[in-house]
């Protein structure tokens, strides 16, 4: 798991996030924030109270209204570029003050990694040339260049006991 996470941090540190994937994520976030802002008037007083309590106890819940969060996102999101993400993803390369906590369940029948094996893993990933995330970069292309010819239903069989209808298509698929 640690290898996977650090490899993805390093991939972003080397290449950033592909622009189509980043644009998609920004659009999804804005859509969620716009929806929250539109429905903010229906938020119960209990939900407000829960937010204040969580903020006071953990400091993790912002005390911004949905409209304030939306305005802040509209201001900040345009400044987030693949290059900015690449620079931010390099944080894990800085060894000063770094700590790695590996928590295994008591009943796990695996040997915990040693300090040396963790450091070797980090060193390997840090010096590994990685390809850009081509899968996310191709989101704008259609899945199939040419759509297949639609089939047709050539037979239909009803299983009365289960209530399932089985169709056989002209290409043999059922």
* pLDDT tens per residue, range 58-117: 887 778 888 999 999 999 999 999 999 889 888 888 878 788 888 888 877 888 889 899
Buried b (16+ CB within 10 A) or exposed e, 46-85: eeeeeeeeeeeeeeeeeeeebeebbeebeeebeeeebeee
In this prediction the pTM is: 0.58
Mean pLDDT of 29-58: 87
DSSP H helices, the chain, are 2-15, 19-38, 45-58, 66-76, 82-89, 115-126, 134-137
Tell me how far apart the alpha carbons of residues 102 and 19 are, in angstroms, rounded to a whole number.
34
Mean pLDDT of 107-135: 84
Residue 37: which of 74, 11, 85 has the closest Cα? 74
Tell me how far apart the alpha carbons of residues 73 and 26 are, in angstroms, rounded to a whole number.
9
**Of all residues in the chain, what percent carry a pLDDT higher than 90?**
29
């Amino acid at each position: 798991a640690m290898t996977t996470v650090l490899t993805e941090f390093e991939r972003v540190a080397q290449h950033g996030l592909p622009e189509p994937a980043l644009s998609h994520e920004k659009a999804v976030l804005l859509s969620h924030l716009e929806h929250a802002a539109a429905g903010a008037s229906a938020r119960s007083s209990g939900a407000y109270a829960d937010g204040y309590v969580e903020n006071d106890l953990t400091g993790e819940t912002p005390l911004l209204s949905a409209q304030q969060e939306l305005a802040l996102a509209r201001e900040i999101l345009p400044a987030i570029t693949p290059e900015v993400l690449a620079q931010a993803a390099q944080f894990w390369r800085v060894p000063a003050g770094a700590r790695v906590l590996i928590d295994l369940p008591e009943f796990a029948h695996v040997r915990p990694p040693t300090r040396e094996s963790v450091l070797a893993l980090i060193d390997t990933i840090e010096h590994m040339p990685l390809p850009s995330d081509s899968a996310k970069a191709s989101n704008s292309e259609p899945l199939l260049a040419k759509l297949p010819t639609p089939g047709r239903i050539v037979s239909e069989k009803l299983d009365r006991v289960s209530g399932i209808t089985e169709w056989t298509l002209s290409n043999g698929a059922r």
